[in-house]
């Protein structure tokens, strides 16, 4: 591959979870390129030797983004404390591959994975406003319009935290809720706060990427067109990293 910035190389090699952490490693003098302490702004070229301390880093594969249809009952973690199966049992073994956000064990649907920490940060941090869409069902059925508008105005959860949907619209047996953040079990807590506890939760969209008809338990690599659309949603038209 052509020369890449050292920060990006470290992220793609699985040595740092994000560009910011990679920069911290470089500033701390822990990254060695061809036997010399590296500086911010350095580039890595084919054949260069890169070390983190004494550890030799394998050349990273090109950026990878995977879409998994997470089934119910799987935990978004590498090792389960409860003994439940984990999403990594369904995925290929790729160094540095990590979840872009999370879904709790009882939730289903679209879960992205990537080896690009900068992309993950942009897709998950609320300040970047990338939308996530959830289809929810409740035993009590479809909430009335006034309660859905309440979700859009915001509700105070039992924890004391304020949570707000970007959009909430009725759907048979429940609702479709659009969020720009994804705190643990937040959508479930919000529905419970309006008196409509969730029976089933399915994430159907992250930014421009849709779950579509993908079967539970299966994964696929995003197409070049999907990657381009995802970068546009995450980084904007100038794609500054």
Please give the positions annotated as active site: 104
> Element (H or E) spanning 168, and its range?
strand 167-171
- Give yes or no for a contact between 57 and 51, defined as CB atoms under 8 angstroms apart: yes
φ, ψ (nearest 5 deg) of residue 228: -65, -45
Distances (CA, A) of 28 to 17, 31, 75, 206: 16, 8, 34, 35
174, HSE (Cβ side, Cα atoms, 13 Å): 20
How many CA atoms, within 13 angstroms, populate the side-chain half-sphere of residue 192? 12
Contact 230, 65 (CB under 8 A): yes
């Amino acid at each position: 591959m052509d020369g890449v910035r050292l920060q990006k190389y470290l992220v793609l090699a699985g040595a740092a979870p994000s560009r910011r952490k990679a920069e911290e490693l470089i500033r701390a003098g822990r990254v060695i390129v061809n036997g010399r302490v590296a500086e911010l702004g350095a580039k890595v070229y084919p054949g260069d030797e890169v070390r983190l301390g004494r550890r030799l880093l394998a050349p990273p594969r090109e950026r990878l983004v995977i879409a998994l249809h997470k089934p119910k009952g799987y935990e978004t973690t590498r090792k389960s404390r409860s003994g439940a199966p984990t999403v990594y049992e369904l995925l290929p073994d790729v160094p540095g591959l990590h979840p872009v956000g999370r879904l709790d064990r009882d939730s289903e649907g679209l879960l992205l994975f990537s080896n690009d920490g900068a992309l993950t940060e942009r897709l998950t941090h609320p300040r970047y406003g990338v939308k996530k869409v959830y289809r929810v069902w409740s035993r009590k059925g479809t909430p009335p319009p006034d309660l859905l508008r309440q979700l859009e105005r915001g509700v105070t959860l039992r924890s004391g935290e304020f949570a707000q949907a970007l959009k909430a619209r009725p759907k048979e047996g429940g609702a479709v809720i659009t969020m720009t953040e994804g705190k643990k079990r937040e959508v479930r807590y919000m529905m419970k706060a309006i008196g409509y506890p969730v029976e089933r939760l399915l994430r159907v969209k992250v930014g421009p990427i849709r779950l579509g008809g993908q079967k539970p338990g299966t994964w696929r690599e995003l197409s070049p067109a999907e990657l381009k659309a995802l970068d546009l949603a995450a980084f904007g038209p100038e794609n500054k990293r």
